[in-house]
Amino acid sequence: MNKSVLMAFFFMLISTLIWNDSVHAQSNNRVENAEDITLNSEIETIHELDGSVYYYSFSIERHGKFILELLTETEIIDTYTILDKNKEEILSNPASSTWILGLPKGSYYLAVSTKQDPAVNAESFTLQINFEIDKYFKNSLGTNEIASATPIALNTTYQGFHYANENDYFTFQLTQKKRVGIKGTYANATLYDSLTFKLLDEEINVINYTLATPEGGFFEAELSEGTYVIDVWGSSPEGYYDLEVTTSDFKDVALNHWAVKEVQFLSDFDIIKGYQNGNFGPDDEVRRGQASLMFVRALNLDLDNRPNPGFEDITTDHIYYKEIAAVVDEGIFPKGETFNAFDPLKRSDMAFALVNAYHLQGTYNGDIVDVDKEEPNYPYINTLAANQVTNLYSDGTFKPESVVNRAQFSVFFARILDERFK
């Protein structure tokens, strides 16, 4: 082989290697070659500033919040676009440092478009892509015709998807006069642009309205028996929003109270009741004897012919004797020397009772930093967390010795009895 042929061969080999490496670096610049990504992780892309689009694929198992954060301090990205499993565009947004949107369960593609700007000196960008399960997200989109408005239930969170300059209509009925609260939450709201939630009567007259915000716009109204419509409209960017219509039978539970839906749910089923003065006492401590009574109501336990649990402080004429005997016989509360019926119920004891009452199973894989794994109630706390009946505090603690109040008790029970509240 002569020298010129040999040189040509090496030139072709090197060119091929360089070309293959370039293709590898740019392999996800077609949707058909989308790179499968792991949520709650960083991705870094080597790129050219030529207006290329980079595609990533991912799947989610439950409705939740998709959070995309640009970690690189450059202005090389032009837009973010979400495509469905059929590669059809769902929504697109100008690139920002952080993009938050709600997504239902399904498979998706993320398209990241770069700018064509030789003036920017950057060769890569890094994205942090997270996904958070949101217990409120529901796939219940409103209709665009007022005559076929989507029926919704009270004290339930619904989700809609907003398209710019389009109306979404929801409807609900009241069988008696009630005080209601209307709350709209919209993560994509800006200082200058948001969604308007209007409450309309049967004649389509506006009763009141609020602007949806990331924290939630809210108003109250005293309504008579009848049919009502909620009109959601805005010219703001596309995205998901939440809608709630809440009611409360109690004077001291505000319609925008964090547990109003769960309190009303348990009240409707007569599991937990208010006081004679019309209050609920959401911050009042739950006593162990009271908890026994509420477990009996929730499980419809038979109180007859239960064996005496043998507590030193619980005689047969005790106010809660039958209820305590029933829950101990069912294994909901443990046996011991004393029951302490008038002591506050601790969170760790609540975990034990709920797991045993409803035979919950499952293992939470995260860390519960303030509960040692050797603690007797650790398995129950862990199972409660695995079933999303309890949420750990932001610092990863459960606070097992903290006392359960009546609002918290309502939330625990509601999450077990109805998936809507998880």
- Specify whether the CB–CB gap between 143 and 168 falls below 8 A: yes
- 170's tokens: 């929801």
pLDDT digits (tens, 9 = 90+) for 265-322: 999 888 989 999 999 999 999 999 999 999 999 999 999 999 999 999 999 999 999 9
Architecture of domain 26-131: Sandwich (2.60)
Q: How far apart are CA 176 and CA 409, in angstroms?
A: 28
Reported in sequence order, the residue ranges of 224-361 that DSSP labels E, i.e. its strands, are: 226-233, 239-247
Residue spans of the domains in the chain: they are: 26-131, 146-247, 261-421
pLDDT band at 117 (very low <50, low <70, confident <90, very high): low
> What would you report as the CA-atom Rg of the chain, rounded to the nearest whole angstrom?
28
- Specify whether the CB–CB gap between 112 and 56 falls below 8 A: yes
- pTM summary value: 0.65
Asked whether the predicted pLDDT for residue 20 surpasses 60, the reply is no
Q: How far apart are CA 248 and CA 274, in angstroms?
A: 11
Burial annotation 41-65 (CB, 10 A radius, 16+ → b, else e): eebebebebeebebbbbbebeebbb
Nearest CA to 30 out of 72, 98, 83, 66 is that of 83
Q: How many helices (H) and strands (E) does the chain have?
A: 7, 18
The pLDDT of residue 118 is 58
What's the whole-number average pLDDT of the chain?
A: 84
Architecture of domain 146-247: Sandwich (2.60)
**Residues 362-387: what's their mean pLDDT?**
92
- Specify whether the CB–CB gap between 314 and 286 falls below 8 A: no
* Segment (H or E) for 292: helix 288-299
- 385's tokens: 């967390």
**Residues 371-391: what's their mean pLDDT?**
92
